[in-house]
Amino acid sequence: MKVTAIKTKVIQPGEDLFKFLHEHISILEERSIVVITSKILSFAQNRFAPAIEKTREEKHDLVRRETDLYLDPSKSKYDIMITIKNSLLAVNAGIDESNSPGQYILWPENLQEFTNQIWQFLRETYKVKDLGVIITDSKTMPLRWGVTGTAVSYCGFNPLIDKRGLTDIFGREMKMTQIQIAEAIAIAAVFEMGESNEQRPLAIVNDFQQAIEFQDRVPDEEEIKALSIDPEDDVYAPLLLSVPWKKGGK
């Protein structure tokens, strides 16, 4: 697999994302996946909230409004909020202050719809058929220091390789294994794109050794839902269900 991160100019609030992509992507080959950080989608949508007092309390109130479920910050040693938003476990509902113009950056709205539009634009503009798009953010992992990338939406390919029913090298049947392609590619791409001032919000990934099943359509609701696990069915259910989640929302 080959990952090519692309250095760009700094995107401005409200800037046309499609024009931005066209300015910085010179060519796309068949069977490529374009990886885009969610932050530039947020910039294009003007998804900011003013940082007036710049206090923890101000940010916590914003998190409560923006997330689906949350834990009170008092539950954290670091005074942060563990949240679930769009079926993703995240810190502070993905609200960020790094690389921002002095405001809080919120997650993009209508994320899957916007991802589908980007996919359609890139296919039409670069005249390619087999193309994927992944939108990424950063994530932390329990029991590990450091951040990696994560896929928050995708389009243009089957995101799971189902290994169930196949056998391992010793002939034993595999009963649980599905490879999460979007997540795996997001981790590799974000590593190359960087996490601070690298100014590389785009990457093109190709030359896969794994078989990627590209699709000539946007994902349907059933396919998107199949990527998420209800907390009751999750292997981490003993942890997820043992804490006092509160409902967020405006």
Q: How far apart are CA 188 and CA 90, in angstroms?
A: 19
Backbone conformation region of residue 249, classed left if phi is above 0, alpha if psi is from -120 to 50, else beta: left
pLDDT of the residue at 102: 83
Whole-model pTM: value is 0.94
Domains and CATH numbers, the chain: 1-47+108-219 (3.30.1330.100), 48-107+229-250 (3.90.1660)
pLDDT of the residue at 154: 98
pLDDT of the residue at 162: 85
Per the CB < 8 A criterion, the answer to whether 22 and 6 are in contact is no
Looking only at the bridges linking them, the beta strands covering 2-6 and 202-206 are antiparallel
pLDDT of the residue at 246: 96
pLDDT of the residue at 176: 86
pLDDT of the residue at 100: 80
CA geometry: angle at 209 spanning 208 and 211, to 5°? 80
Per-residue pLDDT of the chain (250 residues; tens, 9 = 90+): 999 999 999 999 999 999 999 999 999 999 999 999 999 999 999 999 998 888 999 999 999 999 999 999 999 999 999 999 999 999 999 998 887 878 999 999 999 999 999 999 999 999 999 999 999 999 999 999 999 999 999 999 999 988 899 899 999 998 888 889 999 999 999 999 999 899 999 999 999 998 899 999 999 999 999 899 999 999 999 999 999 999 998 6
pLDDT of the residue at 250: 62
